[in-house]
Amino acid sequence: MPGFEIFDDTEKQQVQEVMEKGFTFRYNFDGMRNDVWKARELEGMICDTLKVKHTHLVSSGTAALSTALTASGIGAGDKVIVPPFTFVASVEAIVLAGAVPIFSEIDKTLTLSPEGILETLKKHQDIKAINFVHMCGSMGKMDEIKAICDQHNIVLLEDACQATGATYKGQALGTIGHVGTLSFDSVKTISCGEGGAVLTNDTTIYDFAHQYSDHGHDHIGMDRGAESHPIMGANYRISEMNAAVGVAQWKKLDRILDTQRRNKKALKDALANYSEVSFRVIPDEAGDNAGFLSIILPTEERTQEVVKALGEQGVAGVFYWYANNWHYLKNWHHIHQMKGAAKLPIDLIADRPDYTQISTPKSDDIMSRTLSMLINLSWSEEQINERIAAFAKVFR
């Protein structure tokens, strides 16, 4: 999956253009940059590829989440549904926005289930938004999810940070809801080294996004010192250097997706021969970005045995998320305690949930039996066959 696997001279050339002709700051300095605008260029490329009206680049996927929340009006005291299986930034961004994460169940899509969301809405009628995370490159039941959001007037934020290039019924993930996010860090499908993006078809959300991520600047005119500040903001700007790497990487997106899908199919076809193996549910197989192959086994005990056995066979890139400190709720002790370096906004909310008592039994059952394998771009046919042979030893 990681785009860095296919770094070559094209990334170097893009960065060199900034060094020789351009300027590292993404705004202004018009006279010094010789019309070199890498952030603008990459934003335009993303809009064209994903068929979205607005893209705004920021410094990371986490910054994109924080920006998307604020730009879509999510703030102090607002309740936001989030899955227990995600990267911890999905939760941290909500807390640091002053909002309240409400955990809801996933299903075998490995994303929030419509049934779980509806159960949560029975307990919390004042939900303001859903942070719908497209984990491991694929989507959930998006027609049902969007219908729920429309019916209940809930903001649908799509965290597509692990799903760049994935689609659902032909529409890019991250563009189905009100606002979406992508991540371009070092181990993502497309890498800028560090970077992220906010996607939206809503011009009001876009304006708040570019303002909020740059200290509230309205970005009108050519004199930064004369710009107005309609809102308060932060500093989540991407640099021209990171955007330059992204320009080269984005041109490789089709190649990356084709390679991932080909490699994943070879492994999935091989694993389909074993009766104890079932696969993650993917509502639109054609839209999967194929960054991971996720399988579900009969029991937690068997899953642990398989993970251990694959390690002994030298199979790298196998993730047992249920025991992973970054990606599953039960292991996030700082979230259970809502522990920060200083007092958090959520400490001021009297009726906040007791996160030490959060229970997601349906998600626990699924994730305790799930393992995912990273799909590499650099595998040779021989390396894929070696993995298939290792699976055979484990599952036979």
Question: For the segment 43-71, what is each residue's pLDDT rounded down to a tens digit?
Answer: 999 999 999 999 999 999 999 999 999 99
pLDDT mean across residues, the chain: 97
Rg (CA), the chain: 21
Q: CB under 8 Å to 92, separation ≥6 — which residues?
A: 62
CA distance 312 to 58: 41
* % the chain with pLDDT above 90: 97
Alpha-helix runs per DSSP H in 111-141 = 114-123
Q: Which amino acid is at 55?
A: T
Please report where in the chains the tokens 């959060």 appear, as a residue.
358
CA distance 138 to 281: 9
146, 188, 264, 362: the catalytic one is 188
Q: Check: CB of residue 389 under 8 Å from CB of residue 307.
A: no
CATH class (in words) of the domain with range 3-253: alpha beta
pLDDT band (50, 70, 90) for residue 144: very high
Count of residues making up the chain = 396
Provide mean pLDDT across the span 147-156: 98
Q: Where are the domains of the chain?
A: 3-253, 255-395
The alpha carbon dihedral of 316, 317, 321, 323 has a sign of: positive
pLDDT at 266 over 90: yes
The reply to whether 128 belongs to the active site is no
pLDDT at 161 over 80: yes
CA distance 21 to 3: 26
Name the token pair of 108: 């075998």
Question: How much is the pLDDT for 256?
Answer: 97
Angle between helices 114-123 and 142-152 (to 10 degrees): 20
pLDDT band (50, 70, 90) for residue 140: very high
Question: How much is the pLDDT for 239?
Answer: 98
- Shortest CA distance to 218 belongs to which of 207, 204, 205? 207
pLDDT at 92 over 90: yes
- DSSP type of residue 226: G
CA distance 303 to 306: 5
Question: For the segment 209-225, what is each residue's pLDDT rounded down to a tens digit?
Answer: 999 999 999 999 989 99
Question: For the segment 3-28, what is each residue's pLDDT rounded down to a tens digit?
Answer: 899 999 999 999 999 999 999 999 99
CATH class (in words) of the domain with range 255-395: alpha beta
Name the token pair of 57: 């680049």
Question: How much is the pLDDT for 135?
Answer: 97
Q: Check: CB of residue 250 under 8 Å from CB of residue 46.
A: yes
Alpha-helix runs per DSSP H in 293-370 = 300-312, 333-336, 361-367
CA distance 196 to 210: 13
The alpha carbon dihedral of 92, 94, 99, 102 has a sign of: negative
User: pTM for this structure?
Assistant: 0.96
* % the chain with pLDDT above 70: 100
Give 197-222 as a DSSP string.
EEEES-HHHHHHHHHHTBTT----SS
pLDDT band (50, 70, 90) for residue 2: confident
Provide mean pLDDT across the span 163-191: 97
Q: Check: CB of residue 246 under 8 Å from CB of residue 42.
A: yes
